[in-house]
Amino acid sequence: MRFARVFIDVPRLGPFDYLVNGINVEIGALVIVPFGRRRVVGVVAELTNKSELIEKKIKSIEALLPLEPLKKDFLKLAEFASVYYHKSMGETIFTALPSMVRSPKFSGINKEVSFSLTRSGIERIPGTLTPRAIGKHRLWKAMLSKEPVTLKIARGIYAPAGKLILEWQDRGWVESESSSKPKSINSPRSLEGLLSSAVPALNSEQQGAVNEISKSLGSFKTWLLQGITGSGKTEVYFSLIEEVISRGQQALILVPEINLTPQLESRLNERFPSKQMVMLHSALSGNERYSSWNLARAGTADIILGTRLAIFTPIPRLGIVIVDEEQDTSFKQMEGLRYNARDLAVVVGKQRGIPVVLGSATPSLESYAQVLEGRYDRLMLRTRASGTTPEISLLRIDKKNRIGLLPEAVNEIRQALLRREQVLVFINRRGFAPVLYCSSCGWKATCKRCTTNLTMHSGIKKLRCHHCGYQQDIPNICAECGDQDIVDLGQGTQRIEQIILTEFPTAQVIRIDGDTTKRKGSFSRMRENIEKQGVDIIVGTQMLSKGHDFANLTLVIVLGADASLFGGDYRSTEYLYQQVLQVSGRSGRSARPGKVLVQTEFPEHPIYRSLVAQDFDGFAAQLLSERKKAGFPPFGYHAILRVASKDEKQLWRFLTKSRDLITTSDKSKIEVYDAVPSAVYKVAGMFRGQILLQSKNRKVLQRFLSAWLPMLENMRDGKVRFSLDIDPVEL
């Protein structure tokens, strides 16, 4: 008899044995199998002639999914992630696959409305287009190709394509159909002949970086491309991508946030108009993600642009991995398979024998330490590609002026507006005020489901919890003493927007935060409005702190930075420095000089002095010295057991038992901290606690976790949830 060992999306179990029964399966094949009362998709891990189970109890594979087997490179990466992050192989594989492929109902058919030119459209459209209508020309020429053009593809070529296609349909120039044929995975979609923009010349630093990295193509090497904001790291990426594609290979670019993909996608389309590019991120529909994943997997896509999950994409001709803003914590998945895409990028490079480029103006201390230890090679971009590095100045605030803008800041805004320049006021807190407080009895409005204060939102006139989403009306009196003397404390984007509108009533002000960008495409529209100079003053959160290039923006004002100075996480100052320097880099990116003002109560603090000097190396050296003394990363390794339960007593019982399982011998090799409440103790009705483990040796810590985790699994009773967080980015 022939048996297949199959991985299924379940925790801590597998693979499971199934009878092949004449079905032609191979390793990596996706199969439909019975599992309990369900029919599920599994992945064949091994084929064998023996099974330890009684044959008559072994169920059979029901069918093959109509998809090519997963390749060895994909399975090798999944195996590494499974072992390192202590998740089952099944969970790891199915985290990495598109949702459509995880369903037994998957048919391999991609139903999408597509558009093609009629004979009349082929003949008549060119005569209606002016020479300057570059986007329309591109769309028309794309629709000349044999492959159907979906609305997603059309918008990737020309953003307002939806309206234009409707117009062409009305004139009988375009026809639509619901395509039920499988997506082509054999021939690249050719866009040859589309108009391309001029390629900017590289300066000597950029060209030097391209030359050095190009020498390593075809072999594994990790490069840290450290360039000040505006130094042209993106153009270095593009030159490397061009070289990789010329060798017949594919390029993978990872960015930390979805909001950074549209601008980069647009620039890539302009630079490589004849190349197939796909995007992979969580905002895509299941159908869109499968389509992009399939094109990448088939080798059809030349360029793959995505957020952290794209690191698992099977790319057969992969020639380079580029991680932009490598320091960003968004590359770390915070639940489920808690992987770090930046770290896995280096693993991919090593496994595939290709270079990895980590780009940043403010590298993570982990990557910086790798340079100092000789594991990574650093390339520096010290000058801006255009414009000058903005000057950073500190404005001292006192207890009376904690809210709003200081007179000096208001005056600088006024001067910028007179010069018809744009201003960014940065505050990394949305809402109107973070606290509603009774001055009589000290009551604060708190969430009923979390141990957090409710944030006041003036637009919807509600108090809202930013952790679980609970909201309630804003009360007129104190809930404890009935006093009407309740006040809102602190400030968020809404309050700053209101202050600015009062001070500058004729200015065009836009607020960009999580509340104003919920609708699909809203952020892209706002960004376009800024680029067209339809906005004078931007009030924004960390969404605007990196990656965006607004030529007319010359003044940045940073508010609320002091909140990170005394945080409970040892990384707080590192994150603060990175964020302020990144947002500072939004100013002065063209011929006009930029200026940055930081309002703070502590202008003498070393972090601010380092920011004014823009001395990253000096700042990093100081932090590394402190961490070395404490044995903290990058001089040690951390793992956290995170536990949650609706029953507070059960939470602490589990944490206590978990710690008691650690032997004296284990404690001599690793440092075990006490069980403590999480930074936010209760979220959505779940009490949360954790145990931090630390070791100077990664292998020692991993061996301990491998032995400890099965014991924790044996304690699982349905009353608690727990997970291991390896290399956590927050405590």
CB-based contacts of 582: which residues, under 8 Å, 6+ apart?
229, 325, 361, 362, 545, 546
Considering the entire predicted model, what is its pTM? Answer: 0.85
Q: What is the mean pLDDT of residues 501-511?
A: 95
Decide if 204-381 and 391-432+491-625 have a common fold: yes
Round to the nearest angstrom and report the end-to-end CA distance of the chain. 51
- List, as one string, the DSSP characters of 618-634: HHHHHHHHHHHHHT-TT
Which amino acid would we find at residue 462?
A: K
Q: Is the pLDDT of residue 262 over 80?
A: no
**In the chain, pLDDT over 70 holds for what percent of residues?**
96
Q: Counting beta carbons within 10 angstroms of the beta carbon of residue 52, is it exposed (0 to 12), middle (13 to 18) or buried (19 or more)?
A: exposed
Q: Counting beta carbons within 10 angstroms of the beta carbon of residue 204, is it exposed (0 to 12), middle (13 to 18) or buried (19 or more)?
A: exposed
pLDDT tens, residue by residue, 698-726: 999 999 999 999 999 999 888 999 999 99
Q: Which two tokens stand for residue 9?
A: 């999306």
Phi, psi of 61 (to 5 degrees): -65, 135
Position 705 scores a pLDDT of: 96
Q: What is the dihedral of CA 264, 265, 270, 274, to 10 degrees?
A: 140
Q: Is the pLDDT of residue 166 over 80?
A: no
Domain spanning 391-432+491-625: CATH 3.40.50.300: yes
Position 198 scores a pLDDT of: 66
- Which of 169-183, 344-358, 405-419 is the least confident region? 169-183
- The DSSP bridge partners found for residue 538 are 424, 510
Question: What is the rounded average pLDDT for all residues in the chain?
Answer: 90
Q: Which two tokens stand for residue 118?
A: 């009629």
Position 542 scores a pLDDT of: 83
Position 288 scores a pLDDT of: 82
Q: Is the pLDDT of residue 260 over 80?
A: no
- DSSP 8-state assignment for residue 432: S
Cis ω before 634 (30° cut-off from 0) = yes
- SS3 of the chain: helix, strand, coil, percent, to 5: 35, 25, 40
Q: What stretch of H or E contains 158?
A: none
Q: Counting beta carbons within 10 angstroms of the beta carbon of residue 30, is it exposed (0 to 12), middle (13 to 18) or buried (19 or more)?
A: buried
Position 285 scores a pLDDT of: 82
| Apex 543 CA angle, 542 and 549, nearest 5 | 110
pLDDT tens, residue by residue, 349-367: 999 999 999 999 999 999 9
Position 186 scores a pLDDT of: 30
Position 500 scores a pLDDT of: 96
Position 188 scores a pLDDT of: 37
- Which of 196-205, 586-595, 631-640, 653-662 is the least confident region? 196-205
- Which of 76-80, 131-135, 267-271 is the least confident region? 131-135
What kind of fold does domain 3-102 have according to CATH?
GIY-YIG endonuclease (3.40.1440)
Position 565 scores a pLDDT of: 86
Position 652 scores a pLDDT of: 97
pLDDT tens, residue by residue, 574-595: 999 999 999 998 888 877 889 9
Position 113 scores a pLDDT of: 65
Instruction: Give the side-chain half-sphere CA count within 13 A for 651.
Output: 20
Whole-number Å distance between alpha carbons of 327 and 260: 15
Architecture of domain 637-726: 2-Layer Sandwich (3.30)
User: Which residue is it, tokens 């992050």?
Assistant: 85
Q: Which two tokens stand for residue 441?
A: 């009895």
How confident is residue 176, by pLDDT bands cut at 50, 70 and 90?
A: low
CB-based contacts of 346: which residues, under 8 Å, 6+ apart?
222, 356
Q: What is the mean pLDDT of residues 490-513?
A: 93
Higher pLDDT, 159 or 28: 28
Position 195 scores a pLDDT of: 40
Q: What is the mean pLDDT of residues 469-496?
A: 91
How confident is residue 73, by pLDDT bands cut at 50, 70 and 90?
A: very high
- The DSSP bridge partners found for residue 43 are 7, 30
Q: Coil, strand, or helix at residue 554?
A: strand
Q: Which two tokens stand for residue 335?
A: 């639940």
Whole-number Å distance between alpha carbons of 20 and 61: 6
Position 181 scores a pLDDT of: 37
- Which of 187-201, 273-287, 597-611, 679-693 is the least confident region? 187-201
CATH number for domain 204-381, candidates 3.30.160.100, 3.30.565.10, 3.40.50.300, 3.40.50.1370: 3.40.50.300
- Which of 9-13, 61-65, 91-95, 516-520 is the least confident region? 516-520
Q: What stretch of H or E contains 38?
A: strand 38-48
Whole-number Å distance between alpha carbons of 329 and 647: 31
Whole-number Å distance between alpha carbons of 175 and 143: 11
- Strand-pair category, 721-726 with 686-695: unpaired
Distances, alpha carbon 73 to alpha carbons 79, 80, 318, in Å = 10, 11, 11
Q: Which two tokens stand for residue 456?
A: 């006041």
> How many residues are listed for the chain in this entry?
731
Position 351 scores a pLDDT of: 98
Where do the domains of the chain lie?
3-102, 112-179, 204-381, 391-432+491-625, 637-726
Position 326 scores a pLDDT of: 97
Sequence-ordered strand ranges (E) for 88-181: 112-117, 149-150, 174-179
Which of 715, 716, 669, 664 has the alpha carbon at shortest distance from 693? 669
Q: Is the pLDDT of residue 14 over 90?
A: no
